[in-house]
């Protein structure tokens, strides 16, 4: 029996091909047209003195000081409460000021068209010693049960994460959208999060565009954008540099389109990790295209734990430029290194994955293509086309590695991929452990 640890780290064992099998086309959701930003009138009462539709609720009008030291939480909550009751209202965080607020939940439901416009600097208390003891350390800004809401502006959301990064405890996630729909995040700069910068849980209809996320390369667990149990997501024309996954896609996600994104340094764009602690994970219809990944530990990656169930299907990575990237193309189904994981026999079923026009350079410390699929549940219908990856420095060119991976090479790849198995494995049968209820809907 091939050891699980070997499947993760061994790079040179080859399998002889045994036939061929094609791939069905995957429906790729089209990028939405870039909507014009909502107009924000300068006069809060443009017509009828009694009509507050479209009003601006400046947090300084509710007592916010904006000196970077005063606690402006109460003023923000008062402005939010007032704006929440008004159609197409804007909560304004004005420029040239620095606002400090503590852990806060901005609740809905609110009237449609609510905008939080951050033109100044918004930040939490400076590190764990300044964090109020009564506040949760697991979260800072939470947007809950909202529909048709936009976060935008020309300012900065500063996480003050430096004093958290070396601590053994898990610090808070910076911005979280929870159980919300029809969301837009546009134009904002987010930096130095203690952990995840932006997280979407249980959401539907999310547009993220022109976002800038910046955190040092060695900052731990500082994922840029993480989505879980969320569907119908578009992430466009954004730049992410951080210490972990630039974008991570968790269980329960479907219909996600990522385009025009530049990641690096980072850990690339990842699906997973999935199947944690024997859980079911269902992910489908994910497209990443016209992206750049540079100076990163990973490129495009699918990572699952041993013992999980469910499936990952309908995945397309297309037109991606790699610049000095380790593990450019990677499926890792041995992501858990705990002893309890080593004897697990079930796995998340990975199928229907396309890699098209993936070009650029790789760090020679790792093979550029690594498919470590489960011993018991093979990866199937992998398609490789127009893949060309060369060493960033030196002449060493590592061989691609495959373990229990089935697929086709439509065009000759560089380096050549001689290790994909042809056809379909006999062991793959219809089983409830691979099925996902309502795979293209909410999980």
Bridge partners of 324?
Answer: none
Q: Round to whole Å and give the CA distance between 96 and 87.
A: 27
Q: Is residue 194 part of a domain?
A: yes
> What pLDDT does residue 390 have?
93
Q: What is the DSSP string of 249-271?
A: E-TTEEEEEEES-EE-SSS-EEE
Q: Is residue 374 part of a domain?
A: yes
CA–centroid distance for 143 within its chain: 18
The radius of gyration computed from the CA coordinates of the chain, to the nearest angstrom, equals 23
**Residue 272 · residue 252 · CB < 8 Å:** no
Count of structural domains, the chain:
1
Q: Is residue 22 part of a domain?
A: no
Is pLDDT at 6 greater than 70 in this prediction? no
Q: Round to whole Å and give the CA distance between 439 and 138.
A: 30
> What pLDDT does residue 61 have?
98
Q: Round to whole Å and give the CA distance between 407 and 416.
A: 14
Can you read off the two tokens belonging to residue 315?
């995945």
**Residue 340 · residue 312 · CB < 8 Å:** no
* pLDDT-derived band at 437, boundaries 50, 70, 90: low
Can you read off the two tokens belonging to residue 319?
């037109």
**Residue 204 · residue 227 · CB < 8 Å:** no
Question: Looking at residues 174-187, what average pLDDT do you find?
Answer: 97
* pLDDT-derived band at 17, boundaries 50, 70, 90: very low
Q: Round to whole Å and give the CA distance between 294 and 292.
A: 6
> What pLDDT does residue 129 have?
86
Bridge partners of 410?
Answer: none
Q: Is residue 395 part of a domain?
A: yes
Can you read off the two tokens belonging to residue 64?
């916010």
In tens, the pLDDT along 272-305 reads 999 999 999 999 999 999 999 999 999 999 999 9
Q: Is residue 280 part of a domain?
A: yes
In tens, the pLDDT along 220-270 reads 999 999 999 999 999 999 999 999 999 999 999 999 999 999 999 999 999
> What pLDDT does residue 53 have?
66
Q: Please name the residue that has the structure tokens 């420029």.
A: 95
Is pLDDT at 57 greater than 90 in this prediction? yes
Three-state secondary-structure class, residue 324: strand
Q: Round to whole Å and give the CA distance between 360 and 389.
A: 5
**Residue 191 · residue 159 · CB < 8 Å:** yes
Catalytic residue among 172, 197, 226, 267: 267
187: CATH: 2.160.20.10
**Residue 263 · residue 218 · CB < 8 Å:** no
Is pLDDT at 350 greater than 80 in this prediction? yes
Range of lowest pLDDT (53-67, 77-91, 100-114, 392-406): 392-406
Q: Is residue 429 part of a domain?
A: no
If one counts every other C-beta atom within 10 angstroms of the C-beta of residue 108, the result is: 18
Is pLDDT at 121 greater than 60 in this prediction? yes
Q: Is residue 380 part of a domain?
A: yes
Q: Round to whole Å and give the CA distance between 3 and 357.
A: 32
**Angle CA(314)–CA(264)–CA(31) in degrees, nearest 5?**
40
Is pLDDT at 370 greater than 70 in this prediction? yes
CA–centroid distance for 324 within its chain: 21
In tens, the pLDDT along 145-156 reads 999 999 999 999
Highest mean pLDDT among 266-275, 333-342, 423-432: 266-275
> What pLDDT does residue 14 have?
38
Best CA proximity match to 108, nearest among 91, 85, 92, 141: 85
> What pLDDT does residue 430 have?
53
If one counts every other C-beta atom within 10 angstroms of the C-beta of residue 371, the result is: 26
Q: Is residue 282 part of a domain?
A: yes
> What pLDDT does residue 226 have?
97
Q: pTM for this structure?
A: 0.87
Question: Looking at residues 71-90, what average pLDDT do you find?
Answer: 98
Is pLDDT at 352 greater than 50 in this prediction? yes
Range of lowest pLDDT (48-57, 157-166, 395-404): 48-57
Q: 260 is in which domain, residue-wise?
A: 59-411
Can you read off the two tokens belonging to residue 218?
């060695």
Can you read off the two tokens belonging to residue 274?
């999935």
* pLDDT-derived band at 396, boundaries 50, 70, 90: low
> What pLDDT does residue 2 have?
41
> What pLDDT does residue 395 have?
67
Question: Looking at residues 157-180, what average pLDDT do you find?
Answer: 89
Please name the residues in contact with 76: beta carbons below 8 A apart, sequence gap of 6 or more: 59, 62, 64, 91, 99, 101, 104
If one counts every other C-beta atom within 10 angstroms of the C-beta of residue 338, the result is: 9
Can you read off the two tokens belonging to residue 101?
């607020």
Bridge partners of 225?
Answer: 198, 247
* pLDDT-derived band at 29, boundaries 50, 70, 90: very low
Is pLDDT at 15 greater than 70 in this prediction? no
Strand runs (DSSP E) across 33-138, as ranges? Answer: 56-58, 67-71, 90-93, 98-100, 104-107, 114-118, 121-123
Q: What is the DSSP string of 390-443?
A: EESSSS--PPPEEESEEEEESS--BS----PBPS--TT----TTT--TTTTS--
Best CA proximity match to 289, nearest among 300, 298, 304, 301: 300
Q: Round to whole Å and give the CA distance between 108 and 294.
A: 39
Burial 415-436 (b: 16+ CB within 10 A, else e): bebebbbeeebeeeeeeeebeb
> What pLDDT does residue 223 have?
96
Q: Is 392 a catalytic residue?
A: no
Q: Round to whole Å and give the CA distance between 260 and 208.
A: 11
């Amino acid at each position: 029996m091939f050891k699980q640890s070997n499947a993760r780290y061994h790079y040179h064992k080859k399998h002889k091909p045994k036939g061929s099998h094609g791939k069905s086309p995957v429906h790729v959701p089209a990028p939405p047209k870039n909507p014009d930003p909502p107009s924000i009138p300068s006069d809060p009462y443009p017509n009828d003195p009694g009509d507050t539709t479209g009003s601006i609720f400046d947090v300084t009008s509710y007592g916010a000081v904006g000196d970077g030291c005063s606690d402006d939480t109460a003023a923000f909550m008062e402005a939010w409460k007032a704006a929440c009751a008004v159609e197409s209202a804007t909560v304004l965080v004005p420029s040239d000021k620095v606002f400090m607020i503590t852990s806060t939940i901005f609740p809905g439901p609110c009237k449609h068209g609510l905008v939080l416009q951050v033109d100044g600097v918004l930040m939490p208390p400076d590190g764990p010693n300044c964090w109020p003891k009564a506040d949760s350390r697991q979260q800072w800004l939470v947007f809950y049960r909202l529909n048709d809401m936009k976060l935008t502006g020309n300012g900065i959301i500063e996480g003050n994460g430096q004093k958290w990064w070396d601590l053994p405890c898990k610090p808070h996630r910076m911005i979280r959208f929870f159980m919300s729909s029809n969301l837009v995040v546009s134009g904002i700069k987010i930096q130095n999060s203690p952990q995840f910068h932006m997280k979407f849980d249980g959401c539907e209809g999310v547009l993220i565009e022109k976002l800038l996320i910046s955190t040092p390369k060695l900052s731990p667990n500082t994922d840029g954008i993480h989505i879980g149990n969320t569907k119908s997501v578009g992430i466009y024309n954004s730049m992410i540099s951080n210490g972990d996954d630039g974008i991570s896609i968790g269980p329960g996600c479907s219909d996600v389109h990522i385009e025009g994104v530049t990641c690096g340094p980072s850990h690339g764009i990842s699906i997973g990790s999935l199947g944690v602690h024997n859980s079911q994970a269902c992910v489908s219809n994910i497209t990443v295209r016209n992206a750049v990944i540079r100076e990163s530990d990973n490129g495009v990656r699918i990572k699952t734990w041993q013992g999980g169930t469910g499936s990952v299907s309908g995945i397309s990575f297309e037109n991606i430029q790699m610049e000095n990237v380790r593990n450019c193309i990677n499926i890792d189904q041995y992501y858990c290194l705990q002893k309890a994981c080593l004897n697990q026999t079930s796995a998340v079923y990975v199928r229907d994955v396309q890699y098209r026009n993936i070009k650029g350079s790789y760090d020679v410390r790792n093979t550029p293509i690594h498919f470590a699929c489960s011993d018991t549940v093979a990866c199937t219908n992998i398609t490789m086309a127009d893949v060309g990856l060369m060493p960033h420095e030196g002449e060493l060119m590592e061989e691609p590695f495959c373990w229990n991976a089935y697929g086709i090479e439509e065009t000759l790849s560089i380096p050549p991929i001689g290790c994909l198995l042809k056809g379909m494995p006999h062991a793959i049968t219809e089983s409830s452990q691979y099925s996902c209820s309502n795979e293209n809907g909410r999980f």
